[in-house]
Chains A and B, each alone.
Chain A
């Protein structure tokens, strides 16, 4: 029974892959399409990896989308003002880190529920993005060509059936971020302590874990990842507007939830989050190729989460 509950989602994932491969044999299961998918999901991958860190503790961060938008705007404004790309990117990442630390301070030091604290900072970051940009989209010549070209570049992998394929730069960043989060959560005491806090915050505190400090650090990392995701987005569209990251938040939470249905006790695991993100990306990719209405796709994603999580909790109750 545990086996079924734990691997039901994975089996479902494989079923989706098989389904699209049968329906779109010439285009879906190709290297080029999969490299596309890794690139298309790279921004969500990074933001969801960051979201996993706080969700391990049983917390949420609703501000990641706004933080991503703000980071993109900050970088774009600095580049428009003639600053070098490295400086713009560093400052934007610092803004994300600070925003995350502010979330952490509100949650751990002041003691506001994460849902409420990050709901408040979500509107604050979004408002700030509007204030500094004047509500405008920063695009065109204001953005250095190199910044936009980064998202279009990659490491050439050679020819595949006559088509040149390459591993996109954005995919490489996503893989690196996943690797770092995996090491952090699965291989360090920091990660084990976060999981302990997720199991029982009070017990973790009593056993001597510096709960407040770790929570602050965890939220900071989530903010940093959100900013990185926002910068990747800005590079991909070679522009920035104050709302462009807003779609990332719900998708990131959805991906982590999909992932939790694959772990032993329903706790978030980074590799499970990766599967969750790929499920969302594959649905977008495959349904577009099948010419399914984009609104139907939204209904399907919601239904999928209910099915996956619902099956998991039914299995749990029966035990």
Chain B
């Protein structure tokens, strides 16, 4: 009896999977997205935009979420290689899944990075351009202070994606003879970066008490900008027109920018754009084109009071 019941139930489960799994026609291109980070908001935007393009191309897209398990990403890539899919898209640090990427390469299956990190085993990695993001905010600062005055910079050399932002800001400010970089601060980020940036900014404000002696604060990411904002407001110097900019446009930064205080601008990555551009790259390779750039950059967007709440 129990055998009948359990085999019946099993048969039911298996039949259900047949219905779920094999509805796709055979002529379609099979494309799989593998990510351990589906629960993160950015990832969902990538995937939705990717699927929109995939629908236009009539691809059979298989989205696989390993729920944080990076080793499972390798396992699923191996399965996809055995299944002989047409293309694989990953959204995970490629150096952690080299075993899977190698298996795909050996089988001649192209793998694309969707904000994954550059890697020789990827056809291309589609991401935002850190240099361009820093150029947006540093030129915003230079224009707002009309090319003259003292600027405080918050940088972080130890983390490569943030380090490149500082390089660009240095170049932009250096190109204005009347802009002086008063201080180049590396905050302690162990507590998130806001508190220590605030303390560092308080010290700089005390050292420069004259109104107008600090024209702007350029931060390589949002946390130091938020810390500097708190220091300026608490010192009662928010009326001096000190311009603050950050990068990343996180929710707290958007709120501060929308409030219309000293924090005037930040830069948002275009997650949907990254998803769509990845799908375009897949389409080009499936059409037989060769992609030469190992990194494909997607434009970012300057966030000011005008669009902070969008």
Within 8 A of B (CB), among A264-298: 284-285, 287-296
Chain A residues near B1 (CB-CB < 8 A):
4, 314-315, 318
Residues in chain B near residue A151, CB distance under 8 A:
99
- Which of A15, A36, A43 contacts B78 (CB under 8 A)? A36
User: When the two chains form the complex, which single residue of B10, B20, B69, B99 contacts A12, counting CB atoms closer than 8 Å?
Assistant: B10
Task: Give the CA-CA distance A40 to B60 in the complex, in Å.
Answer: 25
Q: Would A291 and B21 count as touching, CB distance under 8 A?
A: yes
Q: Would you call B22 an interface residue if the criterion is a C-beta within 8 Å of the partner chain's C-beta atoms? A: yes
B-side contacts of A307, CB under 8 Å: 6, 9-10, 13
Given contacts A236-B99, A238-B95, contact A244 B69 (CB under 8 A): yes
Range for the number of chain B residues in contact with chain A: 35 or more
| Chain B residues, CB < 8 A from A236 | 71, 74, 99
Partner of A288, one of B5, B68, B79, B84: B79
Min CB distance A147 to B, Å, is 12
Q: A120: which B residues are within 8 A, CB to CB?
A: none
* Beta-carbon contact of A289 and B71 below 8 Å: no
Determine whether the beta carbon of A288 is less than 8 Å from that of B64.
Answer: yes
User: Would you call B13 and A300 a contact (CB within 8 A)?
Assistant: yes
Q: Given that A33-B82, A243-B68, A247-B67 are known contacts, is A308 also in contact with B6, CB under 8 Å in the complex?
A: yes
CB pair B74 A36 closer than 8 Å: no
Q: Are A4 and B83 in contact (CB under 8 A)?
A: no
**A244 and B71 contacting across the interface, CB-CB below 8 Å:** yes
Partner of A295, one of B65, B75, B102: B65
Task: Check: A312 CB closer than 8 A to any chain B CB.
Answer: yes
* B18 on interface, CB distance cutoff 8 Å: yes
Residues of B within 8 A of A19 (CB): 14
Cβ of B280 within 8 Å of any chain A Cβ, yes or no, is: no
Interface residues in A176-196 by Cβ distance below 8 A to B read none
A312 to B3, CA, bound (A): 9
**Cα distance A300–B6 when bound, in Å?**
14
Residues of chain A within 8 A of B259, CB atoms compared: none
Q: How many residues of A contact B (CB 8 A)?
A: 60
Please indicate the chain B residues that have their CB under 8 angstroms from the CB of A287 in the complex.
Answer: 17, 21
Q: Shortest Cβ distance from B87 into chain A, in angstroms?
A: 14
Q: Which of B11, B71, B79 has the most chain A CB atoms inside 10 A of its CB?
A: B71
B163 in the interface (beta carbon within 8 A): no
User: Do B10 and A152 touch across chains, with their CB atoms under 8 A apart?
Assistant: no
Task: Check A5 for interface membership: any CB of B closer than 8 A.
Answer: yes
Within the complex, the shortest CB–CB distance from A159 to chain B, in Å, comes to 14
Given contacts A8-B6, A300-B13, A311-B2, contact A40 B75 (CB under 8 A): yes
A interface footprint on B1-33 (CB within 8 Å = 1, 0 otherwise): 111011101110110011011101000001010
Q: Are B2 and A314 in contact (CB under 8 A)?
A: yes
Which residues of B have CB within 8 Å of A296?
17, 20
Question: Is A23 among interface residues, defined by CB-CB distance under 8 A?
Answer: yes
B97 contacts the other chain (CB 8 A): yes
Q: Which chain B residues in 12-64 approach chain A with CB under 8 Å?
A: 13-14, 17-18, 20-22, 24, 30, 32, 60, 62-64
Which parts of A228-262 form the interface with B (CB within 8 Å)?
Answer: 233, 236-239, 241, 243-244, 246-247
Interface membership of B270, Cβ < 8 A: no
Complex contact B102–A40 (CB within 8 A):
no
Cβ of B93 under 8 Å from chain A: yes
B76 at the interface (CB under 8 A from A): yes
Q: How far is B94's CA from A148's CA once the two chains are assembled, in angstroms?
A: 13
In the complex, what's the smallest C-beta–C-beta distance from A106 to chain B, in angstroms? 28
In the assembled complex, the CB of B18 is this many whole angstroms from the nearest CB of chain A, namely 7
Task: Provide 15 A-B residue pairs closer than 8 Å at the C-beta atoms, listed in order of the A residue.
Answer: A15-B7, A15-B11, A16-B10, A140-B95, A152-B98, A236-B74, A238-B95, A239-B95, A244-B71, A247-B72, A288-B62, A290-B22, A291-B24, A294-B63, A307-B6
The 7 closest A-B pairs by CB, nearest first: A290-B21, A311-B6, A40-B75, A315-B2, A288-B79, A291-B62, A4-B3
16 further contact pairs, Cβ within 8 A, besides A233-B71, A247-B72, A294-B66: A8-B7, A139-B96, A151-B99, A152-B102, A236-B74, A237-B70, A237-B71, A239-B95, A247-B68, A290-B17, A290-B18, A290-B20, A293-B20, A294-B65, A300-B17, A307-B9
